[in-house]
Amino acid sequence: MVQGESSAEVSDTVVDLSLTDQSPHEAADAIEAAMLAQLDRRIRKSVLFTSGAVDPTQDSSYLSQDELIIAGDDPRLRQMPKEPTLSDFFGLRFSPSKMHLLQSAMLASKHGYGENVVIACLLHDISMAGFVRGDHGYWGAQLVEPYVNEEVSWAIRAHQALRFFPDESVGYAYPQSYVRLFGEDYVPPRYIQEEYESARKHRWYMTGRLITVNDLYSFDPDAQVSIDDFVDIIGRNFKQPPEGLGLDNSPVAHMWRTMIWPTRSL
């Protein structure tokens, strides 16, 4: 069964409202909530979304008549505009962790760093905010590479390794939060060590390093920053495609489409 642009396929969901005092508006909300809960149980997810919760090599399930695949918009998500911009992704697809990006970029701006550093801070954890967590520096750099200058994408990739290594010259110490998260004896994997050794010799080392300097390892829940505060910087430093991110036929358009339609199976 294919789920298209509406939830009509699960309209057979029964909600008994005869024993309630709900208004028509409340009744409609209850029906919609029940239908969305039904979708949560019935939509078939990609292996990446379930791996860990289940062993993908042992998953013997198959698509039954009662399961749904989504070919269009997922009714559980807010619909994206036809020509989605970076700001639209911040507003409609990124998790609350986007506030970390906004706060980091604002900190870099207050410190007086150039726009390359500010935009790099704004985008440095973009993969974790809306795509995947593993190797987030690599994924994030690839996501934005066609739309920013080479220095910015390089710095986003490099920060993943640089954050594990202090640099006293700029006052960057190993984050205490990492001691709590990874343990006192944690040693980064070999590829991270090699990336660090390469990055420290690179001409753009300091751009990547300044991401870690302005990376907030303890977030301020009371400090609210809006993506609107960065409209001008984005306009000067992010090449927004007129067709919309994900629809511009760039080498990474499929990655942005995956964020637009994360449950689509086709």
Q: What is the CATH number of the domain that holds 134?
A: 1.10.3210
Does 79 fall in a domain? no
Q: What is the pLDDT of residue 125?
A: 97
Whether residues 97 and 227 fall in one domain:
yes
Distance CA 163, CA 153 (A): 16
The sign of the dihedral angle between the CA atoms of 190, 137, 222, 111 is positive
pLDDT value of position 168:
96
Q: How many domains are there within the chain?
A: 2
Determine the structural domain holding residue 65 and report its residue range. 2-70
81 in a structural domain: no
* Claim to verify: residue 228 and residue 161 sit in the same structural domain: yes
Q: Which of 158, 161, 131 is nearest to 143 (CA)?
A: 131
206/243 same-domain check: yes
First to last CA, the chain: 13
Do 171 and 236 have their domain in common?
yes
> CA 86, 88, 93: angle at the middle one, nearest 5?
100
The predicted structure's pLDDT at residue 18: 52
Check whether residue 114 and residue 161 sit in a common domain.
yes
Residues 200, 102 within the same domain: yes
For residue 218, tell me if it sits in a domain: yes
List the structure tokens of 205: 């080392």
What pLDDT shows up at residue 4?
45
Residues 165 and 101 in one domain: yes
DSSP state string for the chain: -EE-SSSGGGTT-----TT----HHHHHHHHHHHHHHHHHHHBPPPHHHHBTTB-GGG------TT-BEESS--TTSPPPPSS--HHHHHHHTS-TTHHHHHHHHHHHHHTT--HHHHHHHHHTTHHHHHS-STTHHHHHHHHHGGGS-HHHHHHHHHHHHHTTS-BGGGTB---HHHHHHH-TT----HHHHHHHHHHTTSTTHHHHHHHHHH--SS--TT----GGGGHHHHHHHS---TT-TTSS--TTHHHHHHHHSTTB--
Residue 265 included in any domain: no
Q: Which residues of the chain have pLDDT under 50?
A: 1-15, 17, 41
Contact between 111 and 129 under an 8 Å Cβ cutoff? The reply is no
Q: What is the model's pLDDT at position 64?
A: 55
Measuring CA to CA, how many Å separate 140 from each of 107, 122, 135, 155, 159? 20, 11, 9, 10, 11
Does residue 78 lie within any of the structural domains? no
Q: How far apart are CA 58 and CA 40, in angstroms?
A: 22
In a domain, 52, yes or no: yes
State residue 47's pLDDT score. Answer: 76
Could you tell me if 29 and 110 lie in one domain? Answer: no
